Amino acid sequence: MALEMDLGGKVILICGTARGGIGGATARQAAKAGATIVAVDKDQALLDPTLEDVMALGAAVHGIVANVADPRECASIVPQVLARFGRIDGVANVAGGTAEGEWMPLDETPDESFRNSLALNFEYVFRICRDAAREMIRQEAPGSLVNVSSVSSLTSAPWHGPYGAAKSAINALTRTMANEWHEFGIRANAVLPGAVATERVLTRVNSANVVPGSETNFTQPVELANAIVFLLSDLASGISGQSLTVDRSLSTKFCGGARVSRRQMAEA
Ligand SMILES: NC(=O)c1ccc[n+]([C@@H]2O[C@H](COP(=O)([O-])OP(=O)(O)OC[C@H]3O[C@@H](n4cnc5c(N)ncnc54)[C@H](O)[C@@H]3O)[C@@H](O)[C@H]2O)c1
């Protein structure tokens, strides 16, 4: 008899599910483990390919178009899951990232860029987890919350400081979730990717945002997805309040995103 990661009978909400990213891979792996999937993305065109993939795997799936960084749209997500399936057993908050033009030294970072980074990479994670946990507590049903952070949360995040700070905040808040909600059977963990070969990142491989040499440490989206599905599953019943780095040892070599000195750049 094989030991399986089993999500049979569970309704799993995944925020940020583009086909070529970590969320799309998570939707497919969770579907293979038997879950019913609720996929959230900011527009229908990003959602559709993943909905097709999950349906092709024979799983039940429901798509929600919402901008998670908008508090009002975010507030509608968990109620839509409940309206459709009546329960919520797990959450993977994957949506996040930095826009190309937002990589800049701290002293040049405008307020708006700082605020946008926090809204997309931290604030919505609080709102979704709070709303899901409220329902799990109300239904007296256990659950698992998985929040995608980054190795940029570990030491420093040069030229993407607000992003690194937001991801550090995810790690901290996730530990508090684990502590406060343990008595209700709710687990909460963070997953920290290093450099992942998602479509978004591959388009930037030759840009200044990727540290030369780090390509050998690239993980595949499915490797992150497997870690997330494991934490969502009952196989991880003893694991809560942890930050799990999945980076093929990238973070043992250097902090996430070393930069060339600006003085050297100016002199070159
Ligand atoms: N790819 C990497 O190398 C890497 C490294 C460290 C951390 N991460 C983190 O992993 C997560 C996923 O990254 P990815 O590379 O798979 O990115 P991705 O761009 O492929 O996936 C992110 C998904 O979130 C969606 N999204 C973005 N903003 C949204 C919004 N406002 N509302 C709703 N959906 C929104 C995008 O449309 C996309 O589907 C992010 O949180 C990112 O910070 C990625």
What is the pLDDT at residue 212?
A: 53
For the domain made up of 11-267, give the CATH fold.
Answer: Rossmann fold (3.40.50)
pLDDT, tens digit (0-9, with 9 covering 90-100), for 66-125: 999 999 999 999 999 999 999 999 999 999 999 888 999 999 999 999 999 999 999 999
- In a 13 Å sphere around the CA of 49, the CA atoms on its Cβ side amount to 11
Edge-first strand order for the sheet with 61-65 is 61-65, 36-41, 11-15, 90-93, 143-148, 186-193, 243-246
Q: What is the pLDDT along the chain (268 residues), one digit of tens a residue?
A: 899 899 999 999 999 999 999 999 999 999 999 999 999 999 999 999 999 999 999 999 999 999 999 999 999 999 999 999 999 999 999 999 998 889 999 999 999 999 999 999 999 999 999 999 999 999 999 999 999 999 999 999 999 999 999 999 999 999 999 999 999 999 999 999 999 999 888 877 655 455 555 567 899 999 999 999 999 999 999 999 999 999 999 998 865 556 678 888 888 8
Length of the chain: 268
**What's the whole-model pTM score?**
0.95
Class of residue 250 by CB neighbours under 10 A (exposed 0-12, middle 13-18, buried 19+) = buried
Q: What is the pLDDT of residue 247?
A: 96
Ligand 1 atom at minimal distance to the Cα of residue 167: 43
What does the alpha-carbon distance between residue 214 and residue 164 come to, in Å, rounded to a whole number?
18
CA geometry: angle at 61 spanning 56 and 63, to 5°?
Answer: 115
Q: Which of 14, 44, 150, 215 to mutate to test the pocket of ligand 1 (most atoms within 8 A of CB)?
A: 150
Q: How far is the CA of 133 from the centre of ligand 1 (A)?
A: 23
Q: What CA–CA distance (Å, rounded) separates 234 from 264?
A: 51
Residues with CB under 6 A from ligand 1: 16-18, 20-23, 41-42, 46, 67-69, 94-97, 120, 148, 150, 193, 195-196, 198-201
Distances (CA, A) of 58 to 14, 184, 185, 199: 17, 32, 29, 25
Q: Tokens representing 154?
A: 């570990």
Q: Which residues pair with 11 in a beta bridge?
A: 36
Q: What are the structural domain ranges in the chain?
A: 11-267
Rounded to the nearest whole angstrom, what is the distance from the C-alpha of residue 242 to the centroid of ligand 1?
Answer: 21
- Going by CA atoms, what residue is nearest to atom 7 of ligand 1? 150
Q: Write down the pLDDT at residue 201.
A: 81
Give the torsion through C-alpha atoms of 195, 241, 166, 257, to 10 deg: -30
Could you identify the atom of ligand 1 that is nearest to the CA of residue 119? 31
The string of pLDDT tens digits covering residues 182-197 is: 999 999 999 999 999 9
Mutate to test the pocket of ligand 1, among 94, 127, 245 (most ligand atoms within 8 A of CB): 94
Is the backbone of residue 30 left (phi > 0), alpha (psi -120 to 50) or beta? alpha
In a mutational test of the pocket of ligand 1, which residue from 28, 42, 122, 219 has the highest number of ligand atoms less than 8 Å from its CB? 42
Q: Which residues contact 70 (CB under 8 A, 6 or more apart)?
A: none
